[in-house]
Amino acid sequence: MKRILTIILLMFSVFLLSQESATVKRDRAIVRNGPGSFFQILAELEKGTSFAILERDNGWLQIQKNELEGYVSRKVTIPREISVDVFSRMGVQKTDLRVSQHGMSAGVKGFAQNFTKKFDGSSIFLTIYTTQKFDTGAYKNFRKETYQNFNRNANYKKYVIPVSEVKDYFTFPEEGMGIGIASRIASLGIYGNLALTEYVNQVGNIVVEATNVYDINFKFFILDIDEVNGYSCPGGIVFITLGMLRMIRTEAELACILAHEIAHVAQHHGMLEMEERKHHIMADNAFVEMEEEMDSIGMKQDEEFLSVEAEMEELCFSIYETIVNGRLQSYEKEADELAVIYASRAGYNSRHMLNLLQRLKHSSSKTNNEHYTQEQIEERIERISENLSLLPLSSDLFDHKDRWNRRSGF
């Protein structure tokens, strides 16, 4: 009996010694109850915390720390370059993620409320945003149906995402600004069909999982307007118009359009103007109104925060105008290039992007985005055709047209 106990103890010791471990090398590591940015937040680990790795799931690590078991992004084990701009310095302040079930920190909420006022946005959008529930059980079933008899992991390896120099996270001031901008866009009118909104979110998150920003919590909304368009805001808020949805014929087309908007978020398009001028942005009185929120999370205000409100507001509105009226041509090219890669990695036949653009080219649909005009669509078709020719597109990529017909109602 003693011999058996000794062997068991020895085997357990070997198991513990062989178990892979890692350390949090970023300011915070959010632990969720599943391998996805939409899963519930369980806890937050501080920088320097060590944990055991139980399993790897693409970009997610299933971990254990004492009694805590959950999932963190692999990125938390990789040190990130420290930025000196005031937005990034605000973003490393400690916050309590338990303030709400959806994981919005007090800092994000404070900035979101402030920017919503400054943009004269929809006062109820923050409530809509924070109360939007993502049914993880329904999503698991949706993903299972999507990838039936399809090797998703092998497909990820086939389509490589180009290396990017942009940072792979958003600070909570940037998230708050994104919500503020989104509140202004939402004032155009949010479409109230919850079943269709859930479907768009399911397709969107299938694509997000296949990108390099898989750990950003994306939320997708439908605008109740006839214009053909899509919008994306810093932090992961994406809008698609009802007019665009009515032009779509397959789920693959929807995936490609959402992938284009996701790419704008991934590459921080719309925030780059701020990055270029960040040494001028010291965010003074723009944040004085949030003094109470800042104090509540232990953020100290200094003279740097008390300087150039007018410049900050001008720049924020410039970003809003860029998002609404169409980004720079170079941004659109990059988003189109990444869109076909993202969609293909997710398993969708990205050739369907061309089908949709051809349909838009010959339609009389209205748009206020210069990149959906007849002339620009022609250029985009030519450019995307070249991008597709460089990809090893296989015959097993799907379009899920039947599911689109069944779920969309169009």
Q: Is the distance from CB of 7 to CB of 13 less than 8 angstroms?
A: no
Q: Which residues, in sequence order, are bridge partners of residue 233?
A: 237
Structure-token pair, residue 363: 């339609």
Q: Which residues pair with 48 in a beta bridge?
A: none
Average pLDDT along the chain: 82
Strand partners, 151: none
Q: Distance (Å, rounded) from C-alpha 130 to C-alpha 322?
A: 25
Per-residue model confidence as pLDDT tens digits over 360-381: 999 876 665 555 677 889 999 9
Burial string for 139-177 (b: 16+ CB within 10 Å, else e) reads beebbeebbeeeebeebbeebebeeeeeeebbbbbbbbb
Largest Cα–Cα distance of the chain, in whole Å? 84
More confident residue, 369 or 144: 144
Cβ neighbours of residue 215 closer than 8 Å, sequence gap 6 or more:
37, 59, 60, 73, 75
Measured CA to CA, the distance from residue 38 to residue 102 in angstroms comes to: 9
Query: Best-predicted range by mean pLDDT among 3-17, 51-65, 309-323, 372-386?
Result: 51-65
| Residue % of the chain over a pLDDT of 90 | 55
Give 51-98 as a DSSP string: EEEEEEETTEEEEEETTEEEEEEGGGGS--PPP-SHHHHHHTS---GG
- 171-186 per-position pLDDT tens digit: 877 888 899 989 999 9
Helix (H) or strand (E) holding 362: none
- Reported as a pLDDT band with limits 50, 70 and 90, residue 399 is very high
Q: Is the pLDDT at 335 greater than 80, yes or no? A: yes
* Two structure tokens written together for 410: 């169009």
What length does the chain have? 410
Q: φ and ψ at 179, to 5 degrees?
A: -65, -40
DSSP 233-279: ETTTEEEEEHHHHHH--SHHHHHHHHHHHHHHHHTTTTTHHHHHTGG
Q: Which of residues 201 and 20 earns the better pLDDT score?
A: 201
R_g over Cα of the chain: 22
**pLDDT single digits (tens) 93-121:** 444 444 344 456 777 888 888 888 888 89
Position of tokens 């109104």?
289
Rounded CA-CA distance 185/68 in Å is 40
Cβ density class 106-136: b for 16+ within 10 Å, e for less: bbbbbbbbbbbebbebbeebbeebbeeebee
For residue 105, which of 319, 290, 306 has the smallest C-alpha distance? Answer: 290
Q: What is the pTM of this model?
A: 0.84
> pLDDT at residue 282 above 70?
no
Pair of tokens at residue 314: 């001008």
CA–CA separation, 337 vs 388, rounded Å?
9
Examine the pLDDT at 206 and tell me if it is beyond 90.
yes
**Pick from 301, 313, 394, 317: nearest CA to 351:** 394
Q: Please, which residues have CB within 8 angstroms of residue 19's CB and are 6 or more apart in sequence?
A: 52, 53
pLDDT in tens, 215-232: 999 999 999 999 999 999
Query: Which pLDDT belongs to residue 98?
Result: 44
**CA end-to-end span of the chain:** 70
Q: Is residue 248 a contact partner of residue 408, using CB atoms and an 8 Å limit?
A: yes
Question: How do residues 233-268 score in pLDDT, each as one tens digit?
Answer: 999 999 999 999 999 999 999 999 999 999 999 998
pLDDT-based confidence at 274, cuts 50/70/90?
A: low
62 — pLDDT class (breaks 50, 70, 90): very high
pLDDT of residue 81: 65
Domain boundaries defined on the chain: 18-77, 86-273+318-408
The span from the CA of 292 to the CA of 276, in Å, is 30
18-77: CATH topology is SH3 type barrels. (2.30.30)
Instruction: Give 395 or 114, the one with higher predicted confidence.
Output: 395
